[in-house]
Amino acid sequence: MTDEIQKIYSKIVALESEVSDLRQGYLLINRRYSVALTSLKELTSHASEAAKRSAAGALKAAEAAKHAATAATEAAALVVLKAADASAEAAAAAAQSAIEAAAAAAAASAAAAAAVAEQAEESSLIASSQAAEATKIAADAATEAVKMSNLASEAARTAHQKRENGI
């Protein structure tokens, strides 16, 4: 009977050791999970901020394209061809900038959405939603910038045609 009790004690000690090892493993995994979760929250926040800033950049580029289109139209009316051409080029560059900003907003929004897929937390869902809204704003601004660029190019083209026709 003493041998049997000794065997039981040995098994209990082995089980205690195994439980302790499992507990330590759990604590390590839990710490790593917490660090990963914090990193994902930061990624989501940064991605949302990047999307918002890209949208702001796209809006400013669209505004620049609008002013360049106005300048091109006015210069074309005065037959100042170099100014009209330069304004049309500026509008095209601003439109390209708006398109790039919209693409950056889309990439940031995708990063935020990926982070949300990893961590279904309300703050991440909100940040992802804001990033998606910023992407829509950036895309709308890029569309407007392209329209203004086309308007500026058309004004410059019309001015050149008038000059060629002696008008």
Q: What is the pLDDT of residue 151?
A: 78
In the block, tokens 């961590």 appear at: 119
What does the alpha-carbon distance between residue 95 and residue 58 come to, in Å, rounded to a whole number?
Answer: 8
Question: Within a 10 A sphere around the Cβ of 77, how many other Cβ atoms?
Answer: 13
Cβ–Cβ under 8 Å, residues 115 and 75: no
Q: What is the pLDDT of residue 22?
A: 87
Q: Would you kindly state where each structural domain of the chain is located, as residue ranges?
A: 2-164
pLDDT in tens, 84-125: 777 777 888 887 887 887 777 777 777 777 766 666 666 666
Q: What is the pLDDT of residue 78?
A: 66
Question: Within a 10 A sphere around the Cβ of 125, how many other Cβ atoms?
Answer: 15
Under-70 pLDDT residues of the chain:
1, 76-79, 115-125, 167
